[in-house]
Amino acid sequence: MCELFGMTCNKHVNVSFTWRGFITRGSKHRDGWGVAFYPDDLSACIIKEPKPSINSPMAQFLKSANIIKSKIVISHVRAASRGSATYRNTHPFVRELFGREWVFAHNGTIDGEMPNPKFYEPVGETDSERAFCLILDRLRDLGRDANLHERARVIEEEAKKLSSISRIFNFLMSDGEHLFAFRSEHGSLYYTVRIPPHNVMVKLVDDDLEVDLSSIKGENEVATIIATKKLTVGESWVSLPPNKLMIFKDGLLIEYQK
């Protein structure tokens, strides 16, 4: 099964500490890894490879370099269930809609029959990319001027529909401004919120590294980290509620009307 990582912050920050722990999980999920971020909040930079992250010089370099700097980051380590271990099947996926690049990464397997997308076409063979195309089709039908509440309603409707024919259906999705997260009934997604003051010692679950968050976090920095499994010890992780779309912006959970 794949694993997901997401980050949203009120400032452009690098993710070397927490992402370092996540990318280590490529030792178990060996069919590919990828990371997407928004250098200018509109267009997405995607770096991915169809091989284990622990064997990737690029992934190891990114762990120590300050290249991944953004307000939103989505990352994925893959254990393939549909589609071969090729670049086209490696998450995250990206598509343009109304002048923004949307990014999507998925964890789970869709067992039921899926309709063919009307406009967006999958490049690879994964059920994940097809699900992304179906969600974007619905958003495209809403039109350019749809507000956040209308978009959220459509994304949640499509997510529940796909979840009903899936064993597990979890995903992270972004338009560069918002981070959308969805967990199915039998899925797993957790989040932790980092707000000032950051004077807390945090240790990575998957790496022998412990830091005082105040040494790496800005005084006014607010961030939320989302992951399939808890990434740290020393801070509180909360399970996302099942079958409900959660929306984060500038590091915090936001409310929306259905």
pLDDT of the chain, 258 residues: tens digit per residue: 799 999 999 999 998 789 989 999 988 889 999 999 999 999 999 999 999 999 999 998 998 888 899 999 999 999 998 889 999 999 999 999 999 999 999 999 999 899 999 999 999 999 999 999 999 999 999 999 999 999 999 999 999 999 999 989 999 999 999 999 999 999 999 999 999 999 999 999 988 899 999 999 988 999 999 999 999 999 999 999 999 999 999 999 998 766
Q: Residue 29's pLDDT is what?
A: 87
Q: For residue 39, what is the domain's CATH number?
A: 3.60.20.10
Q: Residue 258's pLDDT is what?
A: 64
- What's the half-sphere exposure (Cβ side, CA atoms, 13 Å) at 215? 7
Q: Residue 257's pLDDT is what?
A: 67
**Choosing from 2, 9, 45, 133, which is the catalytic residue?**
2
Phi-psi region of 108 (alpha: psi -120 to 50; beta: other; left: phi over 0): left
* Block residue for tokens 């300050």: 66
Based on the residue annotation, tell me whether 45 is a catalytic residue of this protein: no
The reported pTM is 0.97
What is the CB neighbour count within 10 angstroms for residue 122?
20
- Polymer length in residues for the chain: 258
How many whole angstroms separate alpha carbon 33 and alpha carbon 90? 7
How many whole angstroms separate alpha carbon 155 and alpha carbon 133? 12
Domain count, the chain: 1
CB neighbours of 174 closer than 8 A, spacing ≥ 6?
6, 36, 38, 72, 74, 102, 103, 180
The residues with which 225 forms a beta bridge, in sequence order, are: 7, 192
Q: 174: domain range?
A: 3-254
The residues with which 201 forms a beta bridge, in sequence order, are: 212
Q: Residue 166's pLDDT is what?
A: 94
Q: Residue 28's pLDDT is what?
A: 87
Secondary structure class of 26 (helix, strand, coil): helix
Secondary structure class of 118 (helix, strand, coil): coil
Q: Residue 91's pLDDT is what?
A: 97
Q: Residue 27's pLDDT is what?
A: 82
For residue 61, give the H/E element and its range. Answer: helix 57-64
Q: Residue 192's pLDDT is what?
A: 98
